[in-house]
């Protein structure tokens, strides 16, 4: 009970401090382009053994075992510490379904679309801003196999100027549907504000 009370008190102070900051620290409408990789192998290894086993025995999937991905995002600040984004990623993979759906033996396009909320630990006026993200997304594979997922992750935002940023992001995409599979999405990107 004591920890809960302290947590609520701390949250109240954060909200009060956030309310007193200037509105001009909110992120303007921003467009970003991402390059990344999708890793289905490492989450499977972690789920069949443990994170400690995978990290300790260096069983993390090599870059050549991962699928390259290209993405685009629209971001907008809700407040000084919260941004919202709509993200689209495209990759070419032989999708490893979790259910009895057979693999195709060849790569097809995987489309992923999600909406995420980003909790920034600092405001955009800082040069380096760590953030946490969570959202809800949907994917389409081979023109009609649809699945849903929950992306959770963390990243860093590096401010280059008032209207341009570099991003690095790491997400764990957890399936909501039975066929969907667990994956890690690692990406780097550049973002440019178009609304002042």
Q: What fold does the segment set 32-193 form as a domain?
A: Porin (2.40.160)
CA dihedral sign, ordered 186, 158, 118, 110 = negative
What pTM did the predictor assign? Answer: 0.80
CA 78 to chain centre: 18
When pLDDT is cut at 50, 70 and 90, the band that residue 64 belongs to is: confident
Query: Tens digits of per-residue pLDDT, 83-104?
Result: 999 999 999 998 888 876 666 6
| Rg, Å, the chain Cα set | 19
Confidence of residue 15 (pLDDT cuts 50, 70, 90): low
Report the range of poorest mean pLDDT among 18-22, 102-106, 140-144. 18-22
Is the pLDDT at 123 greater than 70, yes or no? yes
The helix (run of H) or strand (run of E) holding residue 90 is strand 82-93
* 8 Å CB contact between 112 and 70: no
């Amino acid at each position: 009970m004591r920890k809960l009370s302290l947590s609520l008190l701390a949250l109240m102070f954060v909200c009060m401090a956030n309310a007193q900051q200037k509105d001009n620290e909110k992120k303007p409408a921003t467009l970003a382009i991402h390059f990344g990789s999708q890793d289905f192998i490492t989450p499977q290894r972690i789920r069949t053994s443990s994170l400690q086993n995978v990290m300790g025995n260096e069983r993390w999937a090599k870059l050549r075992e991962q699928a390259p991905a290209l993405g685009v995002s629209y971001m907008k600040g809700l407040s000084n510490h919260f941004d919202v984004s709509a993200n689209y990623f495209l990759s070419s993979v032989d999708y490893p379904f979790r259910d009895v759906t057979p693999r195709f033996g060849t790569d097809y396009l995987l489309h992923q679309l999600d909406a995420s909320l980003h909790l920034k630990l600092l405001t955009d006026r800082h040069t380096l801003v760590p953030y946490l993200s969570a959202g809800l997304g949907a994917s389409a594979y081979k023109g009609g196999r649809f699945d849903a997922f929950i992306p959770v992750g963390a990243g860093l935002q590096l401010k280059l100027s008032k209207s341009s940023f570099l991003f690095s992001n790491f997400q764990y995409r957890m399936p909501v549907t039975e066929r969907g599979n667990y994956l890690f999405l690692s990406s780097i990107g550049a973002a440019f504000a178009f609304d002042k």
